[in-house]
Chains A and B, each alone.
Chain A
Amino acid sequence: MKQITCALALLASTAAMPVLAEDITITVWAGGSNDSDHYRIDNIMIAADLLSREAAIRGEELNITVEGKRDFDGWDGFKQAVTLGAEAGNAPNIVVTSHLDIAPWASAGYIVPIEDYVDLDSWPLNNVYANLMEIATFDGTQWGVPQDAESRPFFFWKDTMAKLGYSDADMNDMAARVQAGDYTLRDMLADAKKAVDMGLVDEGYGFYPRVSNGPDYAQFYQSFGGELMDPETGKLVLDRTAMTEMYQFFVDAVEAGVTRKNHIGTDWDQWYSEVASGKAAFWHGGTWHYGRYTGKEGNDDFFGTIGFTLIPAGNEAGRANTITHPLVYLVTDQEEDRAEEIAAQLVSIASEPRLNTLHAIASSHLAIGKAESDLDLYAGDRWASEATDVLLPHANAQPNHPSYGAFSEAMFKGLEAAWAGVQTPEEAVAEIEAQMSATLGDELIIR
């Protein structure tokens, strides 16, 4: 099929074309997007304007109408709408979604590889960080382009740390110490325990993790030496030792009184207001939390009150790390190859540093490309610049594997069971091992 379409494209571009007005409508659906994320769609509109102008200079009349939609009822409704639309043959041309959707959607034939239409080695795509670009690949094919970047740092409350005896210089060194593996999760636990014992924070507020499942917990697995996917075979990996030690870490945190036993399921609004006001000593979150802490929660002195680092290593086997979970632009399979081509070109233009910076700063996300740091808008934003330096070079992503969802759910369920004291870490790991081998079968390596 590809050969046929390529031949057609060849014909179309080599034949001397009469100047004909070409009208095309491109629909963009963005999942998980609220008001501050409107550049996910607006950038495609700006790109359409640029593309039409380029066409006009070549002497072609190309009218592109962009229709955007992002008022979905959460991720579930968005994904159902996209997949069913694709089945029915009227999917939107461009979707903005999690990179984890690439594997299933590519297998199902809902999306087409962006590399079929645009040159990855030319501007602006060659400016995109290679590790981010890699996240939008599956089975050796470049399916999409990262739309934004984020990462999930570890935070500490500076005031509490000062009372624990850390000087300002110590706190400034913290990021480097964590990165070097000098300050581990165990050290953090000891500090958190001290903070609770000294009454600096309430019991259960020494270490205040995320309240629901998310990529964040895979970070702790990596902190203890776990590996999510085997690079050789592309199979998912369950490292029993790492998993047990990670579960044990949370159990120890509960036993030491620094984390609440029933912490999972805490209300998000409550969680935000507590961490932004210093009720917790240590916690972990996302780079986009900056917007929430300084906005809705009213923390006016973010840099004076909150410090951030990578997620510390847990033991010798592990490393300090952070996971980035970028959204990606994907181009869907359409009847008309021309629509796919235009959509891919729009995605490419929307990845221009200047356009992407609009989104990054408006929504407290990070840059997808190197050149964005040179733009005033980006460089002038202290949070974006610092977070980019400290976090992004060390960020990895969760694997694009069709069964990763099942893997992640099982891992989290086991963690919850151990955390709540329903099972010991060993029992919990044994149960998820049974569950994962049943659901993943051949796609899992157990170590």
Chain B
Amino acid sequence: MDTTTTAAAPSTGEAVLDAEVLRGRLEALAASEGVRRWDLGASCSTDTSVQVDRGEAKQMKGAQRSAITLRVWNEDGLVGITSTSDLSDDGLARALAGARDASAYGNVDEVPDFSPLATAPLPQLDQPLSAPLSILTLLDTLKQAERDLLGRHPAIGTVPYNGLAQRSSDRLYINSNGACRQQRLSTASLYLYARAEEAGRKPRSAGAVRLAYGAAGLDVAGCVQEAAERTISHLDYAPIVTGRYTCVFSPEAFLDLIGAFSSMFNARAVLDGVSLSRRDSLGEQLAVPFLSLADNGLHPANVGASAFDGEGTPTRRLSLLEGGVLRHFLHSEATARAFGVPPTGHAGMGAKVSVGPDWFEIGPTPGSDAGATGLDRFGSGTRGEDRGLVVIDSLSALHAGVKASQGSFSLPFDGWLVEDGSPRSIEAATVAGDIRTVLKGIVGFEGPAKVTPDGLCPHVWVEGLSITGDA
């Protein structure tokens, strides 16, 4: 038997997985061990990346990675898994034995099954495959980007966090019932975070990110421009007085906040009792009527979208909030079975299958005025009794400052205070609140929806949030 699991792709020279070889080896191993039901997720990738520091290469990196997760059902129907990077015959045999051992401790109360959609047609994604550029080309591109950014303002002295990376990857899902999913992908990313400092003042920092299907397709100039504009906009700063403000979330910041509380839409979290939602929350008014929210991994702007989830279920658009009303939860096979609905394509793969969102679309409910006509009453920080508007550009420390199961958050942010129509960067501050209050305290949207790496969203105005500053 041919024991090669990875092979060179004829067009690009990048590693790809050979699904049929892998299936053949697993079938033989499973038969010899008496395992009749199994599935497997596998991936391999090649990566190259560069970082620079003031005109010089700082670090250049490459990586070849492979990984599998093997899941087996034992004679009692219980499930066990094992993961490994060792795709040799010995590695697969050890993984199978490990998964079978683990299955003795499988959860009798919730046994995963194959997704009923694991052989359903997959969506067609327009994802051009790009041949990787040479690492020296990446280096030249990043050096030029750094040079351009440093030249935008005399206060920008360094770009301490920067990187240009490209990846070619291959991922598959197969199971003992004949399902076979495979997806090849090439992606590239650029990030530039500049640090600026003026004499006698504190250093300030901001940045930008771009994604594409290949390094040649990255919007380098746009990334430089955005990083420069955002950094320069924070140079003139002042402390803010602690109090309640009307806040305007940037698309990135609002998507981050929704992402941190996505357990509200997660059937796994609902069943586990750690979500703010309950099984009977469907149909509840969670947000203002003019807010709608969907998860849509298939959006054309979602670079690197997956065609299928960890259980082989096709990715699809799923409406979560319509007119502010909770309509659906994100599901795996097991949670969907518990709710009596089809799986939605949001599963990972594991002994306990995780569920998570892909890419959010947030915007006005069709037919609504999105609250936009009412924004004038908040002025632009021009009314005498106003403290001004706080624009929240980016949130930090979501891993620490969010209590998803409680609904509360208290997060540092970068942003501006708008008074008399003029924005001024805020020195250091936190914003705190409750996500349920935020969703019902939205007073409107502003501007067109912006594409970000995490989703699509306009600027979102929210009333009455607590801001703590050090003025």
Partners in one complex: no
